[in-house]
Amino acid sequence: MKKLMMMALLALFATTTLSAQNKGVDFQQGTFKELLAKAGDENKYLFVDVYATWCGPCKYMSGRVFTQEKVGDYFNKTFVNAKFDAERGEGIEIARKYKVQGYPTFLILNAEGKELGRIVGGDDADAFIQKVQEVVSKIQ
């Protein structure tokens, strides 16, 4: 009986934890090319977080801003979201191609990879959403 209760509690905890994690921004996995294609298929822009692992503002955005439900609601509806480490793998070429000079840099791209806007540096959730909405309103 104890085992059954313990398993039920663990299942409930896992479900609660997973649902809580899904409330923020859903950063998609895949190659840059795949993510551009997905943005085109979904008729969305591609939002790219170009970050560095040692970057304090990058960590703040990942841990405190992108995890918030209101941020996830806006970004998941508007964008296909991606993250690339500017110092590893495909992120090196993305940072070079888009001439990223500071971290974090957030790119808003169309499905062809054309840069439509960028924001450099982090902010609190409300101010960041507002900055992104201003960029999007100029391109629509």
Residue in the structure block whose two tokens are 């859903």? 26
Burial class, 41, CB count within 10 angstroms (exposed 0-12 / middle 13-18 / buried 19+):
exposed
DSSP 29: P
Condensed to tens digits (0 to 9), the pLDDT of residues 66-103 reads 999 999 999 999 999 999 999 999 999 999 999 999 99
State the catalytic residues: 55, 58
pLDDT of the residue at 9: 44
The answer as to CATH 3.40.30.10 being correct for domain 28-114 is yes
Res. 31: pLDDT tops 90: yes
Q: Is the pTM of this model over 0.75?
A: yes
Q: How far, in Å, CA of 14 to CA of 30, rounded?
A: 26
- Confidence at 22, pLDDT banded by 50, 70, 90: low
Query: Angle between the 125-139 and 69-78 helix axes, to the nearest 10 degrees?
Result: 20
Nearest to 58 by CA among 120, 129, 133, 127: 120
- Confidence at 140, pLDDT banded by 50, 70, 90: confident
The domain limits of the chain are: 28-114
